[in-house]
Amino acid sequence: MSGAMRWVRIALLLAAIATGIVTLRRLHHQLYLKDALNPVCSIPYGSTDFVNGNETCYKTSIHGVTKGCLELHDLGQPDNVSILASFEKNHARGFSLIDLPTSDVMPIMRSIKASEVVTLYDLSGFGMAVQRSIQRELNEMGRSNWIAIASGTQCRATARTKSQGRTMGKLELVHIDFSRNATLRTLLNKPGAIRPTLQFRLATSPIFRRLDEAFGTGNVEAAHEFLVLKHTLNVWAPVVDVVTSDPLAMMSAESLCDGQAKECKINSGCDLRSSVLRSQVVCRAADATNNKWFWKRKMTFGQAFVFDSRRTPHSSVPIGKGVRRSVEVRVLILKPKDEFEYHGSWLPRKMIKQRRYGREYRPCWTIPMLQGAREVVKALHYDEVRIDSAFGDDTQLLERALRMLARERFPGQCA
Quickly name the fold that domain 22-208+221-339 has.
Jelly Rolls (2.60.120)
Bridge pairing between strands 50-51 and 248-251: unpaired
Structure letter (DSSP) for residue 101: P
8 A C-beta contact, residue 315 and residue 131: no
The angle formed by the CA atoms of residues 405, 376 and 382, to the nearest 5 degrees, is 135
Phi and psi at residue 339, in whole multiples of 5°?
-75, -10
Whether 22 has a pLDDT exceeding 70, the answer reads: no
Tens digit of each residue's pLDDT (9 = 90 or more) over 304-357: 999 999 999 999 998 888 889 999 999 999 999 988 876 554 555 555 555 545
Higher pLDDT, 98 or 191: 98
**What's the pLDDT at 67?**
65
280 Cβ contact list (under 8 Å, min separation 6): 175, 176, 178, 179, 180, 261, 262, 263, 264, 313
**What would the pLDDT profile of 53-107 be if each residue is shown by its tens digit?**
445 666 655 445 566 688 999 999 999 999 999 999 999 999 999 999 999 999 9
| Nearest C-alpha neighbor of 60 from the set 172, 191, 157, 194 | 172
Q: Is the pLDDT of residue 225 over 90?
A: yes
Residue percentage of the chain with pLDDT more than 90? 53
Q: Rounded to an integer, what distance in angstroms lies between the CA atom of residue 348 and that of residue 346?
A: 7
Q: Tell me, what's the pLDDT at 52?
A: 47
pLDDT for residue 64 = 52
> Which pLDDT score, from 0 to 100, does residue 358 have?
58
User: Which of helix, strand or coil describes residue 57?
Assistant: strand
pLDDT tier at 283, thresholds 50, 70, 90: confident
H or E element in which residue 70 lies: strand 65-74
Give Dmax (Cα) for the chain.
Answer: 102
Is 236 exposed, middle or buried, given 0-12, 13-18 or 19+ CB atoms closer than 10 A? buried
Spatial distance between the Cα atoms of 7 and 10, rounded to a whole number of angstroms: 5
| H or E element at residue 18 | helix 2-33
Q: What pLDDT, on the 0 to 100 scale, is given for residue 291?
A: 92
Can you give the pLDDT at residue 155? Answer: 92
Of residues 114 and 271, more confidently modeled: 114
Position with higher pLDDT, 77 vs 13 = 77
- Rounded Cα gap, residues 314 and 177, in angstroms: 9
Do the beta carbons of residue 42 and residue 29 sit within 8 Å? Answer: no
16 pLDDT band (50/70/90 cuts)? low
pLDDT of residue 403: 96
Q: How far apart are the first and last CA of the chain?
A: 85
d(CA 339, CA 353): 13
Residue 38 identity: N
Instruction: Kindly state the percentage of the chain with pLDDT values over 70.
Output: 76
pLDDT value, residue 50: 57
Detail the DSSP E strand segments found in 158-247: 167-169, 175-176, 227-238
By the 10 Å C-beta count (0-12 exposed, 13-18 middle, 19+ buried), 59 is classed as: middle
Instruction: For residue 326, report the phi and psi dihedrals to the nearest 5 degrees.
Output: -150, 160
Around 196, how many Cα atoms within 13 Å sit in the side-chain half-sphere? Answer: 12
Is a pLDDT exceeding 90 seen at residue 294? yes
pLDDT tens digit sequence for 360-412: 889 999 999 999 999 999 888 766 555 455 555 678 889 999 999 999 999 99
- Count other Cβ atoms within 10 Å, centred on residue 254: 10
Residue 29 has pLDDT above 50, yes or no: no
Structure confidence by residue, pLDDT tens digits, 192-222: 778 999 999 999 999 999 999 989 999 999 9
Specify the pLDDT at position 368. 96
- Distance between CA 227 and CA 131 in Å, rounded? 18
The one-letter code for the residue type at 140 is E
